[in-house]
Amino acid sequence: MALTRDQIAMRVAQEFQDGNYVNLGIGIPTLAANYVPDGISVMLQSENGLLGMGRYPTEDELDADMINAGKETVTAITGASIFSSAESFAMIRGGHVDFTVLGAFEVDVNGNIASWMIPGKLIKGMGGAMDLVAGAKNIIVTMTHADKHGNSKLLQECTLPLTGVNCITRIITDLAVLEVKDGAFYLRERAPGVTVDEIKEKTAGKLVVEGDVPEMAFASL
């Protein structure tokens, strides 16, 4: 069955490596802060000027002034730094973020991403997405495989205005983990209970399936 938002975040957190500097976008990516694996140290960065972001606070830990880029209250880990958004973007544009995790409306087989606007609809703000796709060393996209009407978000060519071009290499959806290369989506993992045929059906862009595709593994589901 399809993963929940938290399960997608759990799978994202498996990509973290000790010592990484990671930017988490608004929405599903932010949840990954709750699932940093034990035994590793990761510095999570938020565009508004927080380096060392922790998990969401309990009621006792709540501090209304400690927020992420999506205006959600968060905690700070030991050793965290707080600075201006200008310095935060200097960190991003200077290539000092090891990887960023972003949401998206669409991704295509050439690694293009559309995430900042839908013509005719009000979007509160694109945040630092354009800077992140240009400055981060690696980019992971998290999203649902299809929209609420069942239309695929993994396309042969994006139809919405682009956030970045030829920059996406890895996608984690509620159905699968995919690698983007050579003008195609390569299926690497599938959600527990989800078949390859279901993923094929919901992928509009070229999909390559090589051999047996393993199910995602979680410590607890």
Quick one: DSSP state of residue 205?
A: S
- Cα 60 to Cα 58: distance, rounded to the nearest angstrom: 5
b/e sequence 122-144, b meaning 16+ C-beta within 10 Å:
eeeeebbbebbbbbbebbbbbbb
The model's pLDDT over 159-197, given as tens digits with 9 standing for 90+, comes to 999 999 999 999 999 999 999 999 999 999 999 999 999
The model's pLDDT over 19-67, given as tens digits with 9 standing for 90+, comes to 999 998 888 898 999 999 989 999 999 988 999 999 899 999 999 999 9
Residue 51 · residue 96 · CB < 8 Å: no
- Cα 160 to Cα 104: distance, rounded to the nearest angstrom: 11
Report the catalytic residues. 47
Q: Measure Cα distances from 210 to 50, 181, 185, 187 in Å.
A: 41, 14, 11, 7
- Domain map of the chain by residue range? 5-209
- Give the H or E element holding residue 96: none
The pTM is what? 0.91
| Options 3.40.50.300, 1.20.140.10, 3.40.50.11540, 3.40.1080.10; CATH of 5-209 | 3.40.1080.10
The model's pLDDT over 54-71, given as tens digits with 9 standing for 90+, comes to 989 999 999 999 998 888
174: left (phi over 0), alpha (psi -120 to 50) or beta: alpha
State the first-to-last Cα distance of the chain, in angstroms, to the nearest integer.
12
